[in-house]
């Protein structure tokens, strides 16, 4: 019978079996791993075969990893040639962003959305800490809301302090397995705490937030939602290192560019300074948001330089 991985700490895994419930498991010694370039061959959300470990109290062995329906991969921060499977077998993903303390840049949002498009995982954005919005953040929120919902990404506005927007978010999450991602300190664990009343995830004291370097959540972990579906809390990430994406395919992962690609004069148009480019023309007419086009160019450059 299949068990699902709820937490992975490197050598031990918390898994849930439909009959046995939760248990601690480790990988069976000799084990064929196809995915040798990954820093974590078993990821949260993976479906695995387990058996009871002989001679050990209540521990299980993972004997097989089942084929993933999908996954999100990012470049391993410390080992640039390897990748890290953020989570597997997802229905959707949620990027938690904040406009200050810390500030999430549009470039970061667009990189995350690009990765979700590449892995065919529907994505939404939640802008948290709306209790701390000043006029400037209100304006920025409205601009993001218009731009991203135009492209087809739902945008939520929440506060982990006042509870604003939690009900709307709840209905979007219901019954689905959602990856929750974003910079450190944006309030991922705080929001998950609110969505799961019986859980008390570790979050950082407000006074302890120094802006950089401190991560409260250190392992990805999945939590069942009371009415079906689950949330996967993840440690904050500073940047989303894209893997598995060819520069030539990048424009396909921007839905706002994708719909116009047929209009370019050249099949292999990079949409930079080629003649007859439908993308640049649409940017000039204001039909594609300039910020999105800038993100496209920045990501293209980083892919082409292998950065």
Ligand X SMILES: Nc1nc2c(ncn2[C@@H]2O[C@H](COP(=O)(O)OP(=O)(O)OP(=O)(O)O)[C@@H](O)[C@H]2O)c(=O)[nH]1
40 binds, among ligand X, Mg ion, Zn ion, none (CB under 5 to 8 A by kind): none
Residues pairing with 126 in the sheet: 96, 156
Name residues contacting ligand X, limited to 62-91 (CB under 6 A).
none
Residue 291: how many other CB atoms lie within 10 Å: 16
Tell me the closest approach of the beta carbon of residue 230 to ligand X, in angstroms: 17
Q: Which two tokens stand for residue 82?
A: 């390897």
Q: Residue 190, interface with ligand X (CB under 6 A)?
A: yes
Q: Residue 235, interface with ligand X (CB under 6 A)?
A: yes
Q: Residue 131, interface with ligand X (CB under 6 A)?
A: yes
CA 147/CA 293 separation, integer angstroms: 12
Largest CA distance in the chain: 71
Q: Which of 157, 271, 289, 292 binds Zn ion (CB under 5 A)?
A: 271
Q: How many chain residues bind ligand X (CB under 6 A)?
A: 25
CB contact at 8 A, 47 and 4 = yes
Instruction: Give the sign of the dihedral formed by CA 254, CA 257, CA 262, CA 268.
Output: negative
Stretch that binds ligand X, among 60-68, 118-126, 168-176, 182-190 (CB under 6 A): 182-190
264 binds, among Zn ion, ligand X, Mg ion, none (CB under 5 to 8 A by kind): Zn ion
**What DSSP string runs through 85-111?**
EEEES-SEEEEEE-SSSSPPPHHHHHH
Residue 213 DSSP code: S
Residue 209 DSSP code: -
Tell me the closest approach of the beta carbon of residue 255 to ligand X, in angstroms: 26
Question: Which stretches does DSSP call E strand in 107-228?
Answer: 123-127, 155-157, 177-181, 221-224
Tell me the closest approach of the beta carbon of residue 150 to ligand X, in angstroms: 25
Q: Residue 187, interface with ligand X (CB under 6 A)?
A: yes
Q: Which of 17, 103, 170, 204 binds ligand X (CB under 6 A)?
A: 204
Stretch that binds ligand X, among 21-29, 70-78, 170-178, 197-205 (CB under 6 A): 197-205
Q: Which of 189, 193, 251, 295 binds Mg ion (CB under 5 A)?
A: 189
Q: Residue 193, interface with Mg ion (CB under 5 A)?
A: no
Q: Which of 230, 250, 279, 283 binds Zn ion (CB under 5 A)?
A: 279
Tell me the closest approach of the beta carbon of residue 188 to Mg ion, in angstroms: 5
CB contact at 8 A, 253 and 117 = yes
Query: H-helix or E-strand containing 21?
Result: strand 21-27
Name the site residues for ligand X (rule: CB under 6 A): 128-129, 131-132, 159-161, 182, 184-190, 203-206, 209, 215-217, 235-236
């Amino acid at each position: 019978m299949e068990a699902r991985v709820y937490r992975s700490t490197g050598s031990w895994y918390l898994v849930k079996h439909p009959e046995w419930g939760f248990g601690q498991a480790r990988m069976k010694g000799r084990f064929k791993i196809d995915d040798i370039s990954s820093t974590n061959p078993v990821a949260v959300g993976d479906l695995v075969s387990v058996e009871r470990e002989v001679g050990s109290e209540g521990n299980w062995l993972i004997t097989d990893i089942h084929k993933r329906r999908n996954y999100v991969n990012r470049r391993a921060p410390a080992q640039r040639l390897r990748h890290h499977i953020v989570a597997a077998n997802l229905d959707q993903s949620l990027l938690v962003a904040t406009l200050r303390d810390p500030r999430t840049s549009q470039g970061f949002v667009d990189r995350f959305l690009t990765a979700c498009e590449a892995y065919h995982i529907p994505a939404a954005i939640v802008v948290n800490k709306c209790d701390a919005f000043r006029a400037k953040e209100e304006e920025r929120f409205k601009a993001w809301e218009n731009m991203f919902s135009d492209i087809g990404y739902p945008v939520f506005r929440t506060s982990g302090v006042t509870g604003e927007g939690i009900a709307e978010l709840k209905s979007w999450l219901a019954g689905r397995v959602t990856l929750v991602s974003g910079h450190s300190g944006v309030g991922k664990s705080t929001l998950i705490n609110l969505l799961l009343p019986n859980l008390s995830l570790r979050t950082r004291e407000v006074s302890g937030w120094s802006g950089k370097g401190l991560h409260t959540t250190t392992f990805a972990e999945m939590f069942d939602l009371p009415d079906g579906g689950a949330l996967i809390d993840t440690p904050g990430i500073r940047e989303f290192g894209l893997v598995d994406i060819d520069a030539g395919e990048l424009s396909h992962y921007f839905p706002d560019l994708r719909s116009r690609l047929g209009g370019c004069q050249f099949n292999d148009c990079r949409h930079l300074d080629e003649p007859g480019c439908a993308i640049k023309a649409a940017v000039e007419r204001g039909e594609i948001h300039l910020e999105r086009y800038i993100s496209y160019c920045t990501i293209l450059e980083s892919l082409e330089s292998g950065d």
